[in-house]
Amino acid sequence: MAEQRAADGAVAVADEAGAAARAAAEAERQAPQERRPTVVADDVHIYYRVYGGARSRGSAANALRRMVTRKGGPSVRVVRAVKGVTFTAYRGEAIGLIGTNGSGKSTLLRAVAGLLPVEKGAIYTDGQPSLLGVNAALMNDLTGERNIALGGLAMGMTPEQVKARTQAIIDFSGINDNDDFASLPMRTYSSGMAARLRFSIAAAKSHDVLLIDEALATGDARFQKRSEERIRELRKEAGTVFLVSHNNKSIRDTCDRVIWLEQGLLRLDGPTDEVLKEYEAYTKAKKK
């Protein structure tokens, strides 16, 4: 009997422990999904160094003087493109990056993608960020189909996955709407068609962190709508999307949070409507 009670007690304890473990697992499953950081930028500074660009040193006479006197090295001018930006991006967020020309948006995006080093501070990412810019490298002499294969493989798809998705990518891009352009070299595409193909290749895969630079601005209205829908889907697939754009409507339709950069500084970071309201007032005042 005593043994039976002990056994019952053990079962009860095991049940309790099991319930607690299940509750903890459930809490862990829910909580991190809601607020799991994917990109942390900690006081990020990014500088460009332009060689031969220093003021008052560029003339031929100055170069000759330096050669004769053997004084002074090659002149270097430092452009401080991003100056101490801090933010945390979470899983499931779509974040718009806005700011006037030269404010540092593309630079910050390239640094998040790991394509530019940071001078000071640090960027931490969970997962592999993929940058989709209008300049994303595809081969002009290869056909659209070959570029889809190359792009897909470069993003880590298997050859089978590439094969299975090629038609869907062509259809999404709309490059074959008027003729069979997929079998022609990319140099025969208009800039809008090429940008659409780049977007379609990148959007064919779900990304941990997808970085989009102005891609939506290049397509026509129908393609913009399709790509906005796809961005919403990518968000649901649990990634984080960053979108650099001068098109406030695209930002409004796609993003729930906006980071506003101005002259390399983070000016505002918050809900889309609030930040865009301030930004629109700022750009209006600047125009006057």
Residues that bind ligand ATP (CB under 6 A): 48, 50, 79, 81, 99, 101-107
Q: Do the strands 265-271 and 94-98 form a parallel or antiparallel pair, or are they unpaired?
A: unpaired
Shortest Cβ 98–ligand ATP spacing (Å): 9
Contacts of 253 by beta carbon, 8 Å cutoff, 6+ apart: 228
The residue assigned the tokens 């259809």 is 171
Query: Smaller CB distance to ligand ATP: residue 37 or 84?
Result: 84
Tell me how far CA of residue 260 lies from CA of 203, 230, 263, 284, in angstroms: 25, 24, 10, 15
Shortest Cβ 281–ligand ATP spacing (Å): 19
Query: Smaller CB distance to ligand ATP: residue 66 or 80?
Result: 80
Alpha carbons 57 and 76: distance in angstroms, whole number: 10
Do 76 and 50 form a contact (C-beta atoms < 8 A)? yes
Query: Smaller CB distance to ligand ATP: residue 17 or 50?
Result: 50
Alpha carbons 221 and 202: distance in angstroms, whole number: 19
What does 176-221 look like in DSSP terms, one character per residue?
Answer: TSSS-GGGSBGGGS-HHHHHHHHHHHHHTS--SEEEEESHHHHS-H
Shortest Cβ 180–ligand ATP spacing (Å): 34
The residue assigned the tokens 């806005």 is 98
What does 127-161 look like in DSSP terms, one character per residue?
Answer: S-EEEEETT----TTSBHHHHHHHHHHHTT--HHH
Shortest Cβ 199–ligand ATP spacing (Å): 17
Tell me how far CA of residue 17 lies from CA of 5, 20, 26, 101, in angstroms: 18, 5, 14, 58
Query: Smaller CB distance to ligand ATP: residue 56 or 101?
Result: 101
Query: Smaller CB distance to ligand ATP: residue 50 or 76?
Result: 50
Contacts of 143 by beta carbon, 8 Å cutoff, 6+ apart: 182, 183, 184, 185, 186
Shortest Cβ 271–ligand ATP spacing (Å): 21
Shortest Cβ 96–ligand ATP spacing (Å): 13
Query: Smaller CB distance to ligand ATP: residue 92 or 99?
Result: 99
Among the listed residues 36, 104, 96, the one whose alpha carbon sits nearest the alpha carbon of residue 274: 96
Query: Smaller CB distance to ligand ATP: residue 104 or 219?
Result: 104
Shortest Cβ 105–ligand ATP spacing (Å): 4
Shortest Cβ 102–ligand ATP spacing (Å): 4
Query: Smaller CB distance to ligand ATP: residue 64 or 79?
Result: 79
